Amino acid sequence: MVKESDEDWTFKSVVVFRGIDWPERYIEELFQQFNLQITEVVSGREGLHNFSFTCVAPDLILVSQRLPDMCWQDLLTHLRRFPHIRQTTVIICAEEHWPSARADLLHLRCLPVEVAPNAYLLCFLSLKLLEAFFLKGQANMDNSTCPTIIGVGKFQYDRVKQRAMIEGQYEPRITLTLFKLYCILVDHKGHWLSKDELGHLIFDEANYAHQPGDQRLEKQIKRLRQIIEPQGQPWHYLLTENGGFILEEPDLPSHNRH
């Protein structure tokens, strides 16, 4: 990372694994949104083996959905080859790489960020969260504080939809305004919230779009504060431009979202 000012962080180098079903324009649009320069694109279509990056130690590696196993293993092999690589952020968009990928990457002192498969727009969210995160400081490199983002968009949290999402049968329909975010995944000291603190974070644009006179958003903010401010500490919370978030414990029922 290159620090340009006290409030501005930029990625110096970015390597993208495009996977086998990402149109190249998606990648271009993705990085244009955040003014990121792509250093190198590695396409899974080419069946790469024993490859090496032109950039030896990238700041950010984006692993898209359905990355071939051989290519994924080559990535890990490459990272192991350079023990001096530290603080590399790896965005994982393929469910089949969990959870072993996290353990491998943490062992290499990389920072894995997991997002649900089958939605390139989720990478916008990941990058935006990372952008906010790097304004706050570095992450704890331990398993308990590595966040998992499990759902975004027009999504009602139940096991049927969750399974459909994992199996690649669910297509989120969301607008880019949803990604004009503030930071929720870091506390006032710049540390990741643990999974116990975070619970399951799910955006529902349809049910929680903010309308004049609609008190649901304010109620959710109040509930959020009650969950993550048990001792009155100034935690950051997320607020989208068009409103709406759910932050809840894993075992809570989902009937209130229908």
Whether residue 88 lies inside any domain: the answer is yes
Please give the Cα distance from 74 to 105 (Å, whole number).
13
- Going by pLDDT thresholds of 50, 70 and 90, the confidence category of residue 104 is confident
- Going by pLDDT thresholds of 50, 70 and 90, the confidence category of residue 34 is very low
Is the pTM above the cut of 0.75? no
Of 89, 114, 139, which residue constitutes the final position of a domain?
A: 114
The number of folded domains in the chain is 2
* CA Rg value for the chain: 18
Judgement on whether residues 172 and 240 belong to the same structural domain of the protein: yes
pLDDT tens, position by position, 165-198: 444 433 333 222 222 222 233 333 333 334 333 3
Q: Amino acid identity, residue 50?
A: N
Evaluate if residue 128 carries a pLDDT over 50.
no
Judgement on whether residues 161 and 52 belong to the same structural domain of the protein: no
Cβ(119)–Cβ(85) below 8 Å: no
Whether residue 120 lies inside any domain: the answer is no
Judgement on whether residues 205 and 251 belong to the same structural domain of the protein: yes
pLDDT at position 254: 31
Judgement on whether residues 9 and 106 belong to the same structural domain of the protein: yes
- Give the domain range for residue 63: 1-114
pLDDT at position 77: 72
What's the CA angle centered on 198, arms 180 and 160, to 5 degrees? 85
pLDDT at position 76: 72
Evaluate if residue 113 carries a pLDDT over 60.
no
Judgement on whether residues 102 and 174 belong to the same structural domain of the protein: no
